[in-house]
């Protein structure tokens, strides 16, 4: 779905749900913001086709944060020639230097309990085994307040809480925010960070980040989970 002349929200839908990465382009760059789950490259191709593009046309991937539904196809797009950008605080998790926040929290939870089931232990071992499949090199480290020169200007806004290096992108030419998981639309209601996936200890910082982005009073907010929101 096009939301401006050079901005589209792609809908990737399968049995796991619907995910909405953003695609931005100009005469020189074709940029994906987040990439959906592993195995969704074909859905990306189908969503790009009406716009006149293919996955191999993508020049850059900007990752808002480390969650698997946002990085699942990064390695596929890297293999097609795209470079990858992410906030400097997120890079150690993306390249495997640090254990992902989700996996570390799962390890801590199971280690603190006496009643761990065999199924839970099996899930943890599988998660550990699968993690390296989704690691990748980040080609450019991003910093808070930095303005990227692409597509009319893209300001990087560091919004930690949901994840340490979570970022929101302000598309300056159109006054549109690409929110990652800093804002969501759940059951038709616009909210900030989803407490189910942010966690009690990280929620206060995530809520501060949400207030920071709302203070910008953008014309439009694109939510990876939920779709398009127009603040009143």
The number of distinct structural domains making up the chain is 2
Instruction: Name the residue among 112, 221, 121 with its Cα closest to residue 175.
Output: 221
Considering the domain architecture, whether residues 222 and 117 belong to the same structural domain is answered as no
Considering the domain architecture, whether residues 55 and 104 belong to the same structural domain is answered as no
Considering the domain architecture, whether residues 129 and 146 belong to the same structural domain is answered as no
Residue 176 is predicted with a pLDDT of: 97
Considering the domain architecture, whether residues 130 and 193 belong to the same structural domain is answered as no
Which residues have C-beta within 8 Å of that of residue 175, sequence separation ≥ 6? 218, 219, 220
Domain harbouring 32, CATH code: 3.60.15.10
pLDDT over threshold 80, residue 232: no
Considering the domain architecture, whether residues 45 and 88 belong to the same structural domain is answered as yes
Q: Write out the residue range of the structural domain in which residue 42 sits.
A: 2-96+135-229
Residue 1 is predicted with a pLDDT of: 86
Domain boundary among 81, 110, 134: 134
Task: Round the average pLDDT of the chain to a whole number and report it.
Answer: 96
Instruction: Name the residue among 127, 71, 72, 132 with its Cα closest to residue 97.
Output: 132
- Mean pLDDT within 210-218: 94
Residue 89 is predicted with a pLDDT of: 98
Which residue reads 């100009």 in tokens? 26
Residue 11 is predicted with a pLDDT of: 97
Q: What is the pLDDT of residues 1-24, one digit of tens each?
A: 899 989 999 999 999 999 999 999
Residue 110 is predicted with a pLDDT of: 93
Q: What is the pLDDT of residues 116-143, one digit of tens each?
A: 999 999 999 999 999 999 999 999 999 9
Burial of 142 (0-12, 13-18, 19+ CB in 10 A): buried
Q: What is the pLDDT of residues 33-79, one digit of tens each?
A: 999 999 999 999 999 999 999 999 999 999 999 999 999 999 999 99
Considering the domain architecture, whether residues 92 and 145 belong to the same structural domain is answered as yes
Considering the domain architecture, whether residues 72 and 161 belong to the same structural domain is answered as yes
Residue 63 is predicted with a pLDDT of: 98
Structure tokens at 48: 């790009």
Domain boundary among 108, 134, 160: 134
- What is the percent of the chain where pLDDT is above 70? 100
Considering the domain architecture, whether residues 147 and 166 belong to the same structural domain is answered as yes
Considering the domain architecture, whether residues 80 and 148 belong to the same structural domain is answered as yes
Buried b vs exposed e over 24-33: b needs ≥16 C-beta within 10 Å?
bbeeebbbbb
Q: How far apart are CA 13 and CA 232, in angstroms?
A: 29
**Cβ atoms of 59 and 30 closer than 8 Å:** yes
Secondary structure (DSSP) of 82-107: -EEEEETTTHHHHTTSS--HHHHHHH
């Amino acid at each position: 779905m096009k939301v401006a002349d050079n901005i589209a929200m792609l809908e990737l839908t399968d049995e796991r749900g619907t995910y909405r990465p953003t695609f931005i382009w100009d005469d020189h760059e074709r940029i994906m913001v987040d990439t959906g789950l592993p195995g969704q490259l074909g859905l990306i191709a189908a969503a790009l086709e009406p716009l006149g593009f293919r996955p191999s046309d993508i020049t850059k991937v900007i990752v808002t944060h480390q969650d698997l539904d946002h990085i699942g196809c990064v390695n596929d797009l890297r293999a097609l020639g795209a470079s990858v950008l992410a906030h400097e605080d997120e890079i150690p998790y993306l390249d495997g230097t640090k254990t992902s926040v989700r996996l570390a929290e799962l390890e801590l939870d199971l280690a603190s309990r006496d009643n761990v089931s065999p199924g839970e232990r099996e899930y943890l071992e599988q998660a550990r085994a699968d993690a390296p499949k989704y690691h990748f090199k980040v080609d450019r480290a991003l910093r808070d307040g930095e303005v990227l020169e692409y597509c009319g200007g893209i300001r990087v806004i560091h919004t930690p809480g949901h994840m340490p290096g979570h970022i929101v992108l302000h598309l300056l030419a159109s006054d549109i925010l690409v929110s990652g998981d800093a804002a969501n639309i759940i059951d038709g209601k616009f909210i900030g960070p989803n407490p189910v996936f942010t966690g009690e200890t990280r929620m206060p910082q995530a809520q501060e980040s949400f207030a920071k982005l709302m203070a910008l009073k953008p014309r439009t907010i694109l939510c990876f989970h939920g779709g398009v929101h127009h603040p009143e």
